[in-house]
Each structure stands twice: as structure tokens, then as C-alpha cells.
């Protein structure tokens, strides 16, 4: 079964310094049809104004990663980590028993545009941890590049959940395919550009949910950047 979620169907919040689109229920936006998909809980597309950001605040029992599209995002946390995240660099934080962090745009003139993505962890009460890694254009060009996995295979970052997350850049004749086991589901989020996924034409910010499908096929991209989630066919506890 294929289900399309168009980008213009998402929730939206304008806080002045922050403009955010919500693929799933978040903060003041609630849609009972879109609370989560498998273990995927949040995809927020955020634009943070110059000199603004999220002050120190806490999370627990969630896997949180950021995927920057443009600009630079400065990260600080109570684990002692501090860095600047730009396009191509992925950060992952296991919040587990609890961690506080801040995310700030130090630019005086340029906004930062990024995706903030949350997944339920494999279990509660994990030890908090943080990691980051660069995945450049060559890693993602014309193929599915594994950026997050349960065991850190193939140079990916480790995720505390039975989920595999891929990033891809596809244009023209380039194509990619991901087989899905019978106990797996997939969520495809088009970061930008346009692409055809399993015969469905998608534009930037659209998503496709795949249930009981044998695989994911991506083709016909026009400057497309895509995130593909290979997820367990289970409901989180």
C-alpha cells in the first residue's frame, strides 16, 4: 500500500525567528492520522533566523538527528559536545536517561534550514550519547548512502533502533532501489527537487509511506535529494 503525504498538508508554525513544518503531530499541531509512522515520530523542517536558535532544553528516551540543508547549526549539549553542523554533516543524539542541548544559528545574515528528526529508541533508559559525521555529495550521488543504522555498518552512524536511514542525490537517468523484507515498512521524504517513487510523482517536502511493498524504487529525479527510512512493521511501545 502506498500513501502520499503532500508537503502542503503538513502542520505549520511561524514563531517569527523559527518557521517550522511538521510531518507529524508536534507541539501545538495535532493530527490523529499523523502521530507517527512505525518508530518514526518527528520530521520537522525548520528555518531559523540569523542570530536565533533553540536555547538549552532537555529530552529523554528519543533518538534525535539533524540533517542540514543550508547554513550552519551550532550544537552544544550537557555531555560536553560542541560543534557546527553544515550541509552534508549528520548529527545523532541518544537522549536516553536525559540530556540538555541547544541549537543556534550564529550567522548575522543567513538563516539555517534543516530537518530535525526523532525516532523512538529500542528501549527506554539508555545511556545518552552523541556522534556526528560528514557524508559528502559523492557518497550520495546516484545511490542510497546509509547514514544511520543499528550497528554502524558501512560507515554509518549508530542508531539505537532497528531502523536504517539512507540519503540519496538523484538526477536524470540515475536511479536507486531498496528491497524491503516482509516485516519492514518504508517512509520516503523528498528533501528537495522532484522524483518518482514506486510510480508516484513527488515534489520537495512530499512523503510516501510504503506498507506491504516488496521494495522502494527511486527514478526520474530532477535535482532530487531524498531520505529513505527502512523501518520495522511494529507499533512502538
Domain locations along the chain = 2-232
CATH class of 2-232: mainly beta
58 burial type by CB count under 10 A (0-12 exposed, 13-18 middle, 19+ buried): exposed
At 140 the pLDDT is 95
pLDDT in tens, 5-20: 999 999 999 999 899 9
Residues 189/227, Cβ–Cβ less than 8 Å? yes
pTM greater than the 0.75 cutoff: yes
Residue 75: the pLDDT is 78
What's the pLDDT score for residue 23? 96
Residue where the block lists cell 529525479: 221
Give me the chain's average pLDDT, please. Answer: 91
- What is the structure's pLDDT at 37? 95
Mean pLDDT of 114-135: 93
C-alpha dihedral, 39 to 42 to 43 to 47, nearest 10°: -160
The tens digit of pLDDT for each residue in 32-74 reads 989 999 999 999 999 998 888 776 776 789 999 999 999 988 8
pLDDT above 90: residue 172? yes
CB-based contact 215:65 (threshold 8 Å): no
pLDDT digits (tens, 9 = 90+) for 143-170: 999 999 999 999 999 999 999 999 999 9
In the block, residue with C-alpha cell 544511520? 148
- Indicate the pLDDT class of residue 236, thresholds 50, 70 and 90: low
Amino acid at each position: 500500500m502506498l500513501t502520499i503525504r503532500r508537503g502542503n498538508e503538513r502542520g505549520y508554525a511561524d514563531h517569527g525567528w523559527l518557521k517550522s513544518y511538521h510531518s507529524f503531530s508536534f507541539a501545538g499541531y495535532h493530527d490523529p492520522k499523523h502521530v507517527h509512522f512505525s518508530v518514526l515520530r518527528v520530521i520537522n523542517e525548520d528555518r531559523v533566523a540569523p542570530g536565533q536558535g533553540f536555547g538549552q532544553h532537555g529530552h529523554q528516551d528519543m533518538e534525535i538527528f539533524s540533517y542540514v540543508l543550508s547554513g550552519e547549526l551550532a550544537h552544544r549539549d550537557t555531555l560536553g559536545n560542541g560543534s557546527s553542523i553544515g550541509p552534508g554533516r549528520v548529527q545523532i543524539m541518544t537522549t536516553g536517561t536525559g540530556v540538555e542541548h541547544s541549537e543556534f544559528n550564529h550567522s548575522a545574515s543567513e538563516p539555517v534550514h534543516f530537518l530535525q528528526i526523532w525516532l523512538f529508541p529500542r528501549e527506554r533508559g539508555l545511556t545518552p550519547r552523541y556522534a556526528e559525521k560528514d557524508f559528502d555529495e559523492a557518497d550520495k550521488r546516484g545511490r542510497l548512502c546509509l547514514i544511520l543504522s543499528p550497528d554502524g555498518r558501512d560507515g554509518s552512524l549508530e542508531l539505537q533502533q532497528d531502523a536504517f536511514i539512507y540519503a540519496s542525490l538523484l538526477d536524470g537517468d540515475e536511479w536507486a532501489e531498496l528491497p524491503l523484507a516482509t516485516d519492514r515498512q518504508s517512509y520516503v521524504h523528498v528533501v528537495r527537487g522532484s522524483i518518482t517513487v514506486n510510480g508516484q510523482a513527488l515534489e520537495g517536502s512530499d512523503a510516501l509511506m510504503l506498507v506491504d511493498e516488496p521494495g522502494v524504487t527511486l527514478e526520474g529525479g530532477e535535482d532530487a535529494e531524498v531520505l529513505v527510512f527502512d523501518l520495522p512493521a511494529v507499533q512502538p511501545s
